[in-house]
Amino acid sequence: MKLAKLNCLLSGLISSSIRVPSSSCLGSTIAGTRSCQTKAAPSVDKNSLSKLRKQTGYAFSNCRKALLMHDNDFDKALEWLKAEAAKEGWAKAGKLQNRPMSQGVVGVMTTPNSALMLEVNCETDFVARNTKFLELVSSISHICFTSLQTSQSSKVPLSTPELSSVTSVTNETIADIVAKEVGSIGENLRATRAIYMSVDSPHSRLANYIHTAGLNQNCLEIEGCKFGKYAGLVLLNGDVNQEDSHIHCLQIAQHVVGMNPKTIGAVEEETSETLESSSLPPEDTDTHSADTKQSDGESRLLFQEFLIDPDLTTKQWLEERNLSVADFVRFAVGEEASS
């Protein structure tokens, strides 16, 4: 009897502790589960993602995040990405600003009557040969060239601060553009200097020469911007429209790059040296004549041995072709950093 009572008591306790959910509760539980399982995750428009990635070059994860944040609005996503890249680039640029930059390239762009020469520096030769860096140089050159073509001056030099403040058609400064690439490339970068020259006379010609040794030989030009380690611009007057004159002008520019003159050399200097030589003994006259070749240390263009024909001075070579040098500019990568 006692055993039977104990079994009844245990049976009652078990039945009271186990609660089977009602069909309505069970149904709602299952429905809730189903609703969670079928709730769609936020999606990204694949075409916009591909286009954003291609246009910006940023990681897919960043492009996806930008589109999700702005409900697949491409323009807003692009604007957000640029702002984030600028913030990241400026932050990184601040950390790297004291690291030296002795490498880089000179970019040159020309039209028949104008030319731009621009230097952009980086830390290593590896980056200087990188296509992404060269694309940056090309982009900056185009912005600067477009901006300066409206100038009323025939010669416009730009220092680092002046170059950095030039703006693109989208109102981005060159400083902002460079900062973004600092964040992307990971080296200290700087748009260092530029020079713009133009001519408006039929008796004048602009010549340029670019020395490309040490660069990526598979990428020496991007969208009309040519690259080199050394480059020179020369403004010539005279018979610039004669046959082969373009070759003669190119050879003068090549001389400027190769011989690195500091000044043109004035007629007054020639007259002074001629008078000086006339007062010397006959055996010393040849070594002091302004028309003869000068020593290796000669820094005046007209009195240097001409690079293409060392038997003549540059002055003699020019006179034979009825040409004269009115101005020249030479850039060498890193010379600003070492000066």
Token pair 């693109």 is found at 168
**Predicted confidence (pLDDT) at residue 193 exceeds the cutoff of 80:** yes
Structure tokens at 128: 């200087």
Q: Work out the percent of the chain whose per-residue pLDDT is above 70.
A: 72
Alpha-carbon distance of 175 to 155, in angstroms, equals 23
Q: What is the DSSP string of 178-246?
A: HHHHHHHH-S--EEEEEEEEE---TTEEEEEEEE-TTS-TT-SEETTEEEESEEEEEEEEESTTSTTHH
Strands (DSSP E) found in the chain: 103-111, 114-122, 155-158, 190-198, 204-211, 221-222, 225-228, 230-238, 323-332
**Model pLDDT, residue 64:** 83
Of 237, 240, 223, nearest to 145 by C-alpha is 223
Question: What predicted TM-score, i.e. pTM, was given to this entire model?
Answer: 0.69
Task: Give pLDDT tens digits for 65-124.
Answer: 878 888 888 888 877 777 766 666 555 545 555 677 799 999 999 999 999 999 999 999
Q: What angle do CA 140, 144, 147 make, to 5 degrees?
A: 145
Alpha-carbon distance of 187 to 198, in angstroms, equals 34
Identify the three-state secondary structure at position 317.
Answer: helix
Alpha-carbon distance of 93 to 100, in angstroms, equals 13
Identify the three-state secondary structure at position 285.
Answer: helix
Task: Give pLDDT tens digits for 239-265.
Answer: 998 888 899 999 999 999 999 999 999
Residue 321 CA to chain centroid, in angstroms? Answer: 37
Task: Give pLDDT tens digits for 291-301.
Answer: 444 456 899 99
The chain-wide mean pLDDT, for the chain, equals 80
**Predicted confidence (pLDDT) at residue 289 exceeds the cutoff of 50:** no
Token pair 């008078």 is found at 275
**Model pLDDT, residue 92:** 55
59-63, 96-100, 124-128, 156-160: least confidently modelled range: 96-100
Alpha-carbon distance of 328 to 330, in angstroms, equals 7
Of 181, 85, 58, 186, nearest to 126 by C-alpha is 186
